[in-house]
Structure 1
Amino acid sequence: MSHFECIDSPKAAALIKDGAQVADIRDPNSFAQGHISGSYNLSNENLHDYISAADMDKPLLVCCYHGISSQQAAQFLVEQGFDEVYSINGGFEAWRVEQPDLCEIA
């Protein structure tokens, strides 16, 4: 895959159940208040370490607040060598309404 794909929450949930990685690019406080279960809070500070340790062959879902910023991050991660990258439409705001069973809320 040379580019990312935008997907809805049901498709993202199915990928997660099949073992996809999830990177949440929101700020640490927002992430601490609630996030997709099993997601990793990705920031500029830990980006290099994340890329070094990640499984580039495993699907990667990128989540932000509303699904806009995650598209830029997803494209960047494709350019870093991830094979299969997705941006979640609607971001965490839509996710928590549509997939409440797959959320960790503080």
Structure 2
Amino acid sequence: MSFKIIQAQMARELLDQDKATFVDIRDPQSFDASHIRSSTRLDNSNLQAFLAAADKARPTVVCCYHGMSSQSAAQFLAEQGFSEVYSLDGGFEFWKTCHPDACE
């Protein structure tokens, strides 16, 4: 299993249609300052609970700062049995310039 790169526009369509789970691996302060609407912050402290509760058949989009660290996290999730995992191209920094209305 492997992940795919997803462009911000396609990710936005999944978000608007509630067809994907969004996870954010940035630090707590950055996440608290702003994040993709309905995303969940994911780190080592809540990873096991997330893995246990997540719908692994639902598309999952992983977000970081610039789209680099999310690739490793997306690959990890794919290896845990998630069937459709994406790394957000450009990360949150790009997302917030394209879709500021989809940020909290």
Aligned residue number for residue 88 of structure 1: 88
Structure 2: which amino acid aligns with 1:43? D
Q: Alignment RMSD, CA only? A: 0.7
Q: Render the CA deviation track for 1:23-60: whole Å, top value 9, x for unaligned.
A: 00001111000000000000011000001011111000
Aligned residue number for residue 66 of structure 2: 66
The 5-angstrom pairing of residues 16-27 of structure 1 reads 16-19=15-18, 20-27=20-27
Q: Render the CA deviation track for 1:34-92: whole Å, top value 9, x for unaligned.
A: 00000000001100000101111100000000000000000000000111000001100
Give the structure-1-normalised TM-score: 0.95
Structure 2: which amino acid aligns with 1:21? T
Distance 2:11 2:46 in 1: 24
Displacement of 1:18: 2.7
Distance 1:22 1:40 in 2: 6
Give the structure-2-normalised TM-score: 0.96
Secondary structure at 1:56's aligned position in 2? coil
> Structure 1 vs Structure 2: percent identity of aligned residues?
52
Unaligned runs of 5+ in 2: none
Runs of 4 or more off by more than 3 Å in structure 1? none
Secondary structure at 2:55's aligned position in 1? coil
- Of Structure 1 and Structure 2, the greater strand share is in 1
